[in-house]
């Protein structure tokens, strides 16, 4: 048994060494266009403090890994995880964390970012959006699929933005259930624009677990990478979102800036999604398999020598 | 087994009732240490699962970060199982109850190992997960893990702790009420559930 224990330890040690060596890559570069800083942002992120897998601290590290400049932590009806992430991020030098909340009810989900304090989820949507604005924030319709349209249609004049890209777009086509289709989100945005409410388009990953933090994201043209500059840009509509068919959404000027001189591959760290899982080489691949086999060892074999006695008194 | 001993978790996964009986007949000499080791095994597995599924690699920040941020799970479980031990006036010491309880996490450990395997081995993990999800395989596996976990709890109360059939059923029900109750309380305190239930 001693040998099995040693083998498990060796596998896990190899996995850890490989993991440390291969994790992370080129850090995110400063990208500018036409005098604007191009910020890659994910404005819809959950953590372990509601229904995600990662702690607020790990989410910050994962955002760096996935090449994001800014992140809004948006937990269901609370803001304390966002404050924790912001504290940690400031300590390690970025990315920019916006304090946010996903106001979550049975009638709508609303992303509020840039908050000075928590917003109550009770009351009608119009009043909640007013409260978001009073507390310094910006209100974005979260995944506005058909089931949420009645609530959002009534407040088009108050909303600042709407999610137009979301991982819902990346699933198998035509198989999503009605009421939860990405096309409904896109149509909501197009319809609002047609009715004279050009909501700022936002792409977010609604991150809960696994690799895909920032797999769908927003390009923001901001003065700099401060939270205030990013919020100003969202208020002014200076965002661009690429949908799953490659179409760009956003105001004409912002799109023109980014198509005149498109973002070059070298200016991006695009590791979200399956790409982030791809091994960088044989050593990387081997260390990952070692980790998985070590995990089997932890599950399947005793970690300590069993020392057992006779039956306890009276339990025969 | 000639030197190659498998964990109690694996034995319980295959023979829940018989092996809980065997564990009762030969209890750990140092139950406190044994229970702590078992809880640690669950946490290491969770840490490895979170790290591998987040990055495809074993990274210290996620391994130890997840062990810390998920530590509420064994705490909540311990509170629930110790509450049952108290209510049903089990004569076994608390450490022994925990030792038996933390040996019965096999279904979840297996589930996590398989999930991490998809990430490590599949060329396109998201395609595999979408496929398993849209064909109902993933939900079925989750349900199976839940059901098997419940069978293990029943086996622990019945054979591991020697309760009668009726008291086993009651103890299992009380365990789940206490377990779910703590989680629901957290979400109620955070105003997460009420607005989603239509409370305005
Ligand atoms: Zn939502
Ligand atoms: Zn969400």
Q: Do A12 and B58 touch (CB under 8 A)?
A: yes
**C-alpha dihedral over B159, B160, B163, B166, to 10 degrees?**
-60
Distance CA A97, CA A70 (A): 6
| Chain A residues closer than 8 Å to B163 by CB | none
**Do strands A70-76 and A96-104 pair parallel, antiparallel, or not at all (unpaired)?**
parallel
- CA of A72, nearest ligand number: 2
The token duo for A216 is: 């769908």
Contact present, B34 and B49 (Cβ < 8 Å):
no
Residue with tokens 């993990």: B125
- CA of A105, nearest ligand number: 1
B175 C-alpha to center of ligand 1: Å?
Answer: 31
Q: Do B8 and A304 touch (CB under 8 A)?
A: no
Contact present, A275 and B89 (Cβ < 8 Å):
no
Beta-carbon contacts of residue A7 (< 8 Å; ≥ 6 apart): A297
Residues with CB under 5 A from ligand 2 (ion): A 102, 206
Q: Do A301 and B56 touch (CB under 8 A)?
A: no
ipTM attached to this prediction: 0.96
A290 C-alpha to center of ligand 2: Å?
Answer: 34
Crossing angle for the helix pair B94-101 and B31-55, to the nearest 10 degrees: 30
**C-alpha dihedral over A55, A56, A57, A59, to 10 degrees?**
90
CA–CA–CA angle A233, A41, A62 (5° rounding): 155
Distance CA B122, CA B139 (A): 20
What residue in B sits closest to A13 (Cα-Cα)?
B58
Residue of A293, A196, A167, A251 whose CA lies nearest to B113: A293
Residue of A151, A276, A138 whose CA lies nearest to A218: A138
What residue in B sits closest to A273 (Cα-Cα)?
B126
A315 C-alpha to center of ligand 1: Å?
Answer: 52
Distance CA A37, CA A59 (A): 23
Contact present, A173 and A213 (Cβ < 8 Å):
no
Distance CA A305, CA B88 (A): 31
Q: Do B109 and A309 touch (CB under 8 A)?
A: no
What residue in B sits closest to A167 (Cα-Cα)?
B126
What residue in B sits closest to A308 (Cα-Cα)?
B28
What residue in B sits closest to A47 (Cα-Cα)?
B69
Listed as ranges, residues in chain A with pLDDT below 50 are 314-316
For chain A, the straight-line distance linking the first and the last C-alpha, in angstroms and rounded, comes to 30
pLDDT at residue B90, as a whole number: 82
A76: enclosing H helix or E strand: strand A70-76
Distance CA A1, CA A188 (A): 62
Q: Do A104 and B196 touch (CB under 8 A)?
A: yes
Q: Which residues pair with B1 in a beta bridge?
A: none
Average pLDDT per block of 10 residues along chain B, 200 residues long: 79 97 93 96 98 97 97 97 91 94 97 97 93 93 97 97 96 98 97 93
Q: Is A208 left (phi over 0), alpha (psi -120 to 50) or beta?
A: alpha
Contact present, B78 and B94 (Cβ < 8 Å):
no
Q: Which residues pair with A96 in a beta bridge?
A: A70
State the nearest Cα–Cα gap between B29 and chain A, in angstroms. 5
Residue of A229, A228, A219 whose CA lies nearest to A267: A219
A44 C-alpha to center of ligand 2: Å?
Answer: 6
Distance CA B62, CA B127 (A): 24
What residue in A sits closest to B4 (Cα-Cα)?
A1
A58 C-alpha to center of ligand 1: Å?
Answer: 21
| Chain A residues closer than 8 Å to B109 by CB | 299
| Chain A residues closer than 8 Å to B37 by CB | 303-304
CA–CA–CA angle A187, A193, A196 (5° rounding): 145
Q: Do B7 and A299 touch (CB under 8 A)?
A: yes
Count CB-CB contacts under 10 A for residue A30: 11
Which sign does the torsion angle of CA B185, B191, B196, B200 carry?
A: positive
**Do strands A36-45 and A218-222 pair parallel, antiparallel, or not at all (unpaired)?**
antiparallel
Find the CB nearest B124 among A274, A309, A312. Answer: A274
Distance CA A62, CA A205 (A): 13
Question: What's the count of helices (H) and strands (E) in chain B, helices before strands?
Answer: 10, 0
Find the CB nearest B27 among A4, A302, A312. Answer: A312
Which tens digit of pLDDT belongs to each residue from A114-156?
Answer: 999 999 999 999 999 999 999 999 999 999 999 999 999 999 9
Tell me the average pLDDT of chain A.
93
The token duo for B37 is: 């080791």
Secondary structure of residue A41 in the 3-state scheme? strand
Distance CA A111, CA A73 (A): 10
pLDDT at residue A315, as a whole number: 43
Q: Do B200 and A291 touch (CB under 8 A)?
A: no
């Amino acid at each position: 048994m001693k040998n099995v224990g040693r083998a498990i330890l060796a596998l896990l040690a190899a996995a850890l060494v490989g993991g440390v060596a291969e994790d992370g890559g080129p850090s995110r570069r400063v990208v500018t266009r036409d005098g604007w800083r191009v910020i890659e942002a994910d404005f819809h992120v959950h953590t372990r403090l509601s229904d995600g897998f990662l702690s607020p601290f790990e989410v910050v590290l994962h955002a760096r890994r996935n090449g994001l400049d800014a992140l809004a932590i948006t937990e269901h009806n609370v803001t304390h995880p966002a404050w924790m992430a912001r504290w940690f991020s400031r300590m390690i030098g970025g990315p920019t964390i916006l304090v946010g909340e996903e106001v979550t009810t049975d009638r709508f989900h609303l992303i509020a970012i840039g908050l000075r304090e928590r917003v109550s989820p009770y009351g009608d949507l119009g009043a909640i959006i007013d409260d978001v604005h009073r507390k310094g924030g910006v209100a974005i319709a979260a995944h506005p699929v058909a089931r949420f349209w009645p609530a959002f249609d009534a407040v088009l004049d108050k909303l600042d933005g709407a999610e137009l890209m979301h991982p819902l777009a990346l699933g198998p086509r035509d198989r999503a259930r009605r009421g939860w289709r990405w096309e409904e989100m896109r149509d909501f945005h197009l319809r609002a624009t047609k009715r004279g409410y050009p909501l700022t388009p936002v792409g977010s990953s609604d991150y809960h677990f696994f690799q895909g933090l920032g797999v769908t994201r927003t390009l923001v043209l901001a003065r700099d990478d401060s939270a205030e500059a990013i919020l100003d840009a969202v208020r002014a509509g200076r965002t661009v979102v690429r949908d799953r068919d490659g179409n760009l959404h956003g105001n004409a000027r912002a799109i023109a800036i980014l198509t005149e001189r498109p973002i070059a591959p070298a200016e991006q760290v695009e590791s979200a999604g399956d790409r982030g899982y791809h091994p960088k080489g044989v050593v990387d691949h081997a260390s990952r398999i070692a980790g998985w086999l070590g995990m089997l060892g932890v599950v399947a074999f005793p970690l300590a020598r069993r020392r057992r006695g006779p039956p306890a008194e009276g339990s025969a | 087994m000639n030197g190659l001993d498998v964990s109690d978790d694996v034995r319980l996964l295959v023979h829940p009732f018989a092996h809980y009986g065997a564990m009762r007949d030969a209890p750990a000499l140092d139950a406190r240490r044994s229970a702590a080791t078992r809880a640690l095994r669950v946490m290491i597995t969770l840490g490895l699962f979170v790290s591998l599924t987040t990055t495809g690699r074993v990274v210290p920040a996620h391994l130890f970060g997840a062990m810390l941020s998920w530590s509420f799970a064994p705490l909540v479980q311990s509170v629930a199982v110790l509450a049952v031990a108290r209510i049903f006036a089990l004569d076994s010491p608390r450490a022994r109850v925990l030792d038996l309880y933390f040996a019965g996490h096999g279904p979840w450990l297996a589930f996590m190992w398989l999930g991490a395997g998809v990430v490590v081995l599949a060329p396109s993990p998201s395609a595999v997960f979408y496929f398993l999800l849209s064909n109902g395989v993933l939900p079925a596996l989750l349900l199976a893990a839940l059901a098997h976990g419940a069978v293990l709890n029943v086996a622990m109360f019945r054979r591991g702790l020697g309760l009668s059939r009726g008291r086993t059923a009651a103890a299992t029900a009380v365990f789940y009420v206490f377990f779910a109750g703590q989680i629901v309380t957290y979400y109620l305190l955070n105003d997460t559930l009420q607005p989603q239930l239509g409370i305005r």
